[in-house]
Amino acid sequence: MDTADWIRRDTCLWELPPSGAMRVPVRIHAGQELMEAMDEKVRQQASNVACLPGIVGASHVMPDGHWGYGFPIGGVAAFDAAQGGVVSAGGVGFDVSCGVRCLRTGLTRAALDPIQTDLADALQREIPAGVGSQGTIHLDEPEMRAMLSGGAGWAVSNGWGVPADLERTEERGRMEGADPAAVSQMARRRQRDEMGTLGSGNHYLEVQEVTRVVDAATATAWGLRRGELVVMIHCGSRGLGHQIGTEFLREMAASAPAHGLTLPDRELACAPIDSELGQRYLGAMRAAINCALANRQILTHLTRAVFGRFFPGIALPLLYDVSHNTCKLETHTLEGVERRLHVHRKGATRAFGPGHPSLPPDLCVTGQPVLIGGSMGTASWMLAGTTASEAVAFSSACHGAGRAMSRHQALRRWKGRQLVEELAGRGILIRCHSPSGVAEEAPGAYKDVDAVVADADRAALARLVLRLEPCITVKG
């Protein structure tokens, strides 16, 4: 990206002042190297977001930012309904509430080594993954409605987890305001047999080792130490979320003139928050969040069952579950005034700091765990939310490394089977139903996650706690 007309406010803060139809500035939270590596489309999309009615503060881009659908991936924007603010399906994304949860094992790498291959094979057998993958759970209409309303709480009440899991999940496992009636029959049909499945793309279940601790006090408070293993589960709302995004984007684009909206880009289709369409979308989107929370909860139960066969009595307590791709009504302080805002985070996660009332008591001390997933074969990180991040970008942080090239480019450059062999040589076992799926997610197709989190730390979006490296990766 050409930085000639950007104002560099700080080491990791670039600002593009409003011009033309822009209502607020664009702010990119990245250092020189990551900033210059971003595609010009990131600037274009973030500038378009800055034109939307009711946007406040700025149109933000996280250090992992890259081109997306309408909003850039890594885009954060807050809207005030009282000022004609809008909600955009493109600002949430198709995989609603795609997110990551982390389970503690209490095990070390030495305990894994003798059974690594057998555990990898068992996880692949027991964790449904891949395009169109289906699980053993079939939801009839009453159960579908209960799931869309109840989220992870519904899953726990059906035996897929324990009540303590809910305290460690955003929204305590259930997004209020969900409206199952706003979810179409097609979306319901797509999800009927997909509960407890990983799906494809960059979704995974990964056994990881803590290889570096930056903040020992926080790591200890989270019950983690160097050499210990964790399990990260990355997935979302599967076919249901995708169908909701597809349907509402189409309806929002068609209804824009009737709402008096002139869209800078059709992909930014939106509706006034207070309109019937806006409220209906929020109800459906919140139901999709509950679907994703329930899905990750069921996957947690399946994972615990597999580990229990190798390590009888193991508990795998949940550290935390964070969501990306959401729009949530939150209270934020802007220019010294508390305001209720609808915060879109697309490819970004909440990063609440110490003392935030939504966090359980022990995490109130440290700040929220911010789980940064790497690509297959590269490191992941855990960061902690900071008090400062509220003023920086509505308590938001990056969600991963961010793609450096498209999936099509990756397929042309790498072969899946070769990558599996190369990673096995490094002690990382890959289990995947599709060689092309491995090639699409090649480590080289992503930005350097260490550079991304270093910039997130310097930008005060979140602070570094610990680094993890994969041992087993199960993918679609």
* Digit-coded pLDDT (tens) for 228-287: 999 999 999 999 999 999 999 999 999 999 999 999 999 999 999 999 999 999 999 999
* Digit-coded pLDDT (tens) for 436-462: 778 887 878 788 999 999 999 999 999
* Digit-coded pLDDT (tens) for 291-315: 999 999 999 999 999 999 999 999 9
Q: What residues contact 379, with CB distance under 8 A and at least 6 apart?
A: 211, 449, 450, 467, 468, 469, 470
Span 110-114, average pLDDT = 97
Q: Which of 203, 332, 399, 408 is catalytic?
A: 399
Residue 132: what pLDDT?
Answer: 74
Higher-scoring residue by pLDDT: 8, 475: 8
Residue 39 burial (C-beta neighbours within 10 Å; 0-12, 13-18, 19+): middle
Q: Over pLDDT 70: what percentage of the chain?
A: 100
- Reported as a pLDDT band with limits 50, 70 and 90, residue 402 is confident
Whether 399 is a known active-site residue: answer yes
What fold characterizes domain 7-475? tRNA-splicing ligase RtcB (3.90.1860)
Residue 407: what pLDDT?
Answer: 79
- As a whole number, the mean pLDDT across the chain is 95
Query: Which of 125-134, 200-209, 340-349, 422-431 shows the lowest mean pLDDT across its residues?
Result: 125-134
Residue 23: what pLDDT?
Answer: 98
* Digit-coded pLDDT (tens) for 344-363: 999 999 999 999 999 999 99
* Digit-coded pLDDT (tens) for 381-400: 999 999 999 999 999 999 98
Residue 133: what pLDDT?
Answer: 77
* pLDDT at 200 exceeding the cut of 90: no
* pLDDT at 401 exceeding the cut of 90: no
Higher-scoring residue by pLDDT: 433, 276: 276
